[in-house]
Chain A
């Protein structure tokens, strides 16, 4: 039996490894998606001070520290039985919206965009952000950099630091917003809205007007019928910061809607011996293996899942785009994994619109930003939507607020089973009859998981980044018969 190793995968945030086994006829027998690292935050946070958790757990991921910081801070509100003043909640959501703008634009232009903008089979040397800038022009390239910088500036302003903010506290935030700063945030948010609209136009022009790309998006190779999960507000609109978790089935019917603290009734995790990452599934349906459909407990999270799990967007421009998105696919739910990129841009627009709303809120510059807790701490669950999906922090403490137990279900982990399935399906659809496996073909397999924007910093506590690709094809005796690309491991 031959095997193909993609190790590590490029242009995603962290280490990951794909093993593809071919049968004697040269068809795909199976594909495995492995995560080779673990850091063990669920254990070594035991004994820490609860209030230190937002700063400790954000070291899970330096790409989305804001998501961990926020989920953790919300868990602290519950542990200490304290309700933050409304200005504090709004400041948290404002920082979080600015963070979404930076994160989603990074993913679209730097990590995933090259596949579409340059084309999946473009030369490796051009399939990167520099190639993208060369094609879309320096003006848009400059706008990408400016949008990221300006929104990082908001994070720095509110959170105290640009990477690993320090402002989350039980009952509020450590730092407020001055009127002068508020004006700056308002202007940046207006610019970000224009940038998001421009990005949607780029997607229209380059992807949706290209029939080959649309066919690829709609193809069965990149499609899975699964359950979807995401946070929604009282009107079932997408919300990143707060609300209830809603799950819809593959037909689009509501399957469950629950408060974050009930997550243990709904979500369980499966363990495999060949990966450090666990595989969450819907508990009431059960783990049926790496299969899709209504009878399988596999669910998906992240932009496409959030749009599917909700009934709309809470801001006007994003809502119009939401409508156009579902109209284009003629359906209530969209199962095409690659449509995630479009969904991400709709969320980018929502995040920018939400930041503008919050920056204009008369309360946002209030100095009432903390409620000092007085109750005995015990237990809390904090949930936010990280850019890469639902993120759950659950801690129990002793009566002094020392962490006794911590449980973390992280965004990318929620997609672990779906990512494995997507890779297998793409590999089966693309590698047939032992034909020569080209680099472009392997990139098409990688595209099946890049759509999820997997972040293995989050998932296993490894690192973001871009690594070279190594593909090793072995015969049944384990001899290397072909090699593509480069890699970092000795086999």
Chain B
């Protein structure tokens, strides 16, 4: 049997996924022996031409990270989809849009105005902004088109599997790669992680089903070492976030921010997180509840940190 052909690519993300992939360290050699990596820009010289001339479906698996922010990324997503039998959304940006997906609270015009016209260090009396086609003395220069809305990979092309995380932890990446090497991929559509349950299942902190009268900001309090952060009043997303990461953030005394996406069976992670938060509020009085909730001052950034484009909200009207 010939070795599976694998492609790895990135779009609108930060490169942390590539660094995370390199974290598998020595296992890279095992991977290299088991599969034929035909396209991995971060680690090897790429033969685009070889990919371009391949018949459709010639690549067995494509791991695609990053959201779709501009015309070039959209083009490449379609291109790699057509060449690949299996398309995997790798990491939080391809999955839910990721942190850059918070740009869906604004649009192209508002972003351009801020970046190129308003920031206090920008000096731009002529109000120049980047153009998809710009004339210079010697000819024309082109740029990809910046879209109003960040899209997830699944909103752009058909996705067969998802690997969650910002970036996926080394163990999660290896779980998926091992399944691939051994030809034991889970049923189509699966989110590949060690856990279908929440981060709380991974977290060593103790839960006492205690309710809270007040939510705190992380900088406001010193937390107890071994107790659940949510029950200490921090907005820890662990309760509404898929586990498998081994809860590194709560173990560093900081709340989970939700990078592994929703738990199995939940579509909208933010709505789930919000309802979980509501359930720990220690009050039955509407006025008091209202007051407690008012302390949550950035609901979108808190509940949808990595998943706004992929959520039911998708974007804000501006």
Chain A residues in the interface with B (C-beta under 8 A): 1, 3, 10, 13-14, 19, 21, 29-30, 32, 34, 36-49, 51-52, 55-56, 58-63, 65, 76, 80, 124-125, 128, 145, 149, 152, 159-164, 166-167, 169-171, 174-175, 263-264, 267-276, 278, 280, 283, 287, 370, 372-373, 394, 400-402, 407, 409, 457, 461-468, 470, 486-490
By size class, the interface of chain B is 35 or more
Question: Once the chains bind, are A152 and B23 in contact (CB under 8 Å)?
Answer: yes
Residues of A within 8 A of B25 (CB): 145, 149
- Knowing A160-B252, A271-B124, A489-B72, say if A466 contacts B103 (CB, 8 Å): no
- Knowing A59-B16, A62-B18, say if A49 contacts B103 (CB, 8 Å): no
In the assembled complex, the Cα of A273 lies from the Cα of B289 at a distance in Å of 50
Q: Does B134 have its Cβ within 8 Å of any Cβ on chain A?
A: yes
* Chain A interface main SS type: loop
Q: Report which residue of A76, A124, A174, A470 has the largest number of chain B beta carbons within 10 angstroms of its beta carbon.
A: A174
Question: Once the chains bind, are A465 and B18 in contact (CB under 8 Å)?
Answer: yes
Q: Does B122 have its Cβ within 8 Å of any Cβ on chain A?
A: yes
**Partner pick for B134 among A166, A274, A280, CB 8 A cutoff:** A274
- Knowing A38-B146, A274-B141, say if A287 contacts B123 (CB, 8 Å): yes
**Partner pick for A401 among B17, B20, B110, B217, CB 8 A cutoff:** B217
Question: Once the chains bind, are A30 and B137 in contact (CB under 8 Å)?
Answer: yes
**Which residue of the partner chain A has the closest CB to B65?**
A463
**Residues 256-271 of chain B: 1 if any A CB is under 8 Å from the residue's CB, otherwise 0?**
0100000000000000
Question: Once the chains bind, are A274 and B45 in contact (CB under 8 Å)?
Answer: no
Question: Once the chains bind, are B219 and A169 in contact (CB under 8 Å)?
Answer: yes
Which residues 33-67 in B have Cβ within 8 Å of A in the complex?
A: 41-50, 52, 66
Question: Once the chains bind, are A407 and B121 in contact (CB under 8 Å)?
Answer: yes
- Knowing A43-B114, A161-B249, A269-B119, say if A274 contacts B130 (CB, 8 Å): yes
Chain B residues in the interface with A (C-beta under 8 A): 10-20, 23, 25, 41-50, 52, 66, 69-70, 72, 75-76, 98-100, 102-103, 105-106, 110-111, 114-116, 119-124, 128-131, 134, 136-139, 141, 143-144, 146, 166-167, 170, 217-222, 248-249, 251-254, 257, 297-298, 300-302, 305
Question: Once the chains bind, are B48 and A62 in contact (CB under 8 Å)?
Answer: no
Question: Once the chains bind, are B298 and A402 in contact (CB under 8 Å)?
Answer: yes
Q: What's the minimum C-beta distance from B150 to chain A, rounded to whole angstroms?
A: 9
Q: What's the minimum C-beta distance from A362 to chain B, rounded to whole angstroms?
A: 23
In the assembled complex, the Cα of A161 lies from the Cα of B249 at a distance in Å of 7
Question: Once the chains bind, are A62 and B17 in contact (CB under 8 Å)?
Answer: yes
Residues of B within 8 A of A32 (CB): 136, 141
In the assembled complex, the Cα of A51 lies from the Cα of B220 at a distance in Å of 10
**Partner pick for A275 among B114, B143, B252, CB 8 A cutoff:** B143
Residues of B within 8 A of A52 (CB): 257, 298, 301, 305
- Knowing A163-B19, A163-B167, say if A40 contacts B298 (CB, 8 Å): no
Offer 5 A-B interface pairs, CB within 8 angstroms, sorted by A: A3-B139, A13-B15, A41-B100, A163-B23, A486-B48
Q: What's the minimum C-beta distance from A491 to chain B, rounded to whole angstroms?
A: 8
Question: Once the chains bind, are B134 and A466 in contact (CB under 8 Å)?
Answer: no
Residues of B within 8 A of A263 (CB): 121
Question: Once the chains bind, are A372 and B221 in contact (CB under 8 Å)?
Answer: yes
Residues of B within 8 A of A13 (CB): 15
- Knowing A171-B219, A372-B221, A487-B48, say if A39 contacts B139 (CB, 8 Å): no
Residues of A within 8 A of B103 (CB): 39-40, 43-44
Question: Once the chains bind, are A274 and B136 in contact (CB under 8 Å)?
Answer: yes
Q: What's the minimum C-beta distance from B77 to chain A, rounded to whole angstroms?
A: 12
